[in-house]
Amino acid sequence: MAGGVSRRIFLKSLGTSAVTAAALGADTVSQGLAQANAERAQGPGAVAVAFTVNGEKRTLMVEPRVTLLEALRGNLGLTGAKEACDRATCGACTVLLNDTPVYACSMLAIEAQGAAITTIEGLARDGKLTALQQAMVEQDGLQCGFCSPGMVMVLTALLRKNPHPTEAEVRRAIAGNLCRCGSYPRIVAATLAASGQKPVTQLNVISLHDHALA
Partner 1 sequence: MPWPKETKFLGKETPRVEGPAKVSGRAKYTGDVAPAGVLYGAIFRSKWPAARVKSVNLAKARIAPGIKAAILARDGEFDVRYYGDEIAALAGTSKQAVLDALALIEVSAEPRAFVVKEVDALKTDAPTVVAGRANLTEGAAKETGDVEAAFAASAAVVETRVSTPIQVHHPMETHGHTVQWDGEELSAWSSTQGVFACRDSFAKSLNVAQNRVRVRCEHMGGGFGSKFTPGAEGVLCARLARAAGAPVKLMLTRFEEGLAVGNRPSSFQKLKLGADADGKLTAFEIYSFGTPGHTAGANTGGGSGGASFPAPYLYKPAATRVKQGSVAVNAGQSCAFRAPGHPVASVGMEAVLDDLAVKLGMDPVEIRVKNDPFDVRRREYAIGAEQFGWKQKYRKPGTMAGAVKTGVGCAGAAWMSGGKGTQAEIQVNADGTVEVRVGTQDLGTGSRTVVQVVAAEMLGLGLDRLTVRIGDSRLPPSGSSGGSQTTAAVSPAVFDACENVVAELKKLSGIEDPRGENWQAACAKIGNLPLQVRGKWREGLSTGGAGGVQFAEVEVDTETGFVKVKKLLVVQDCGLVVNKLTCESQINGGVIMGLGYALYEQRVMDARTGFVLNPTLENYKLPGAADMPEIEILLIDMPERGVIGVGEPCTVPTAAAIANAVANAIGVRVPDLPLTPDRVLAALGQVPKGTADTVRRPGAWVDGRASVAAAPVAPWVERNGGGQAYR
What residues numbered 139-178 form the site for partner 1, per CB under 8 A? 140-149, 152, 170-172, 174-175, 177-178
Pick the closer one to partner 1 by CB: 42 or 143. Answer: 143
Long-range contacts of 8-11 (CB under 8 A, 24+ apart): 8/108, 8/111, 9/111, 10/35, 10/36, 11/36
- For residue 55, state whether it binds partner 1 (rule: CB under 8 A): no
User: Which residue, 23 or 170, has its beta carbon nearer to partner 1?
Assistant: 170
User: Quick one: which of 17, 35, 79, 106 contacts partner 1 (CB under 8 A)?
Assistant: 79
Minimum gap (Å) between residue 45 Cβ and partner 1:
11
Shortest distance, position 19 Cβ to partner 1, whole Å? 21
Nearer of residues 28 and 207 to partner 1, judged by Cβ = 207
The overall longest dimension of the chain from CA atoms, in Å, is: 79
Q: Which residues share a beta bridge with 116?
A: 52
Considering only residues 115 to 134 of the shown chain, the ones binding partner 1 according to CB under 8 A are 119-121, 123-124, 129, 133
Answer yes or no whether residue 60 interacts with partner 1 by CB under 8 A.
Answer: no
Which residue number, 83 or 114, has a Cβ lying nearer to partner 1? 83
Q: Label the pairing between strands 116-118 and 94-97.
A: antiparallel
CB 174 within 8 A of CB 155: yes
Out of 23, 71, 92, 193, the only residue in the binding site for partner 1 (CB under 8 A) is 92
From CA 209, how far away is CA 26, in angstroms rounded?
70
Task: For residue 160, give every residue at least 6 positions away whose Cβ sits within 8 Å of its Cβ, in sequence order, or none.
Answer: 99
**Residue 27 CB, nearest approach to partner 1 (Å):** 33
Compare residues 32 and 149 and give the one whose CB is closer to partner 1: 149
Task: Point out which residues pair with 57 in neighbouring strands.
Answer: 52
Give the count of alpha carbons within 13 A of 14, CB side only.
Answer: 12
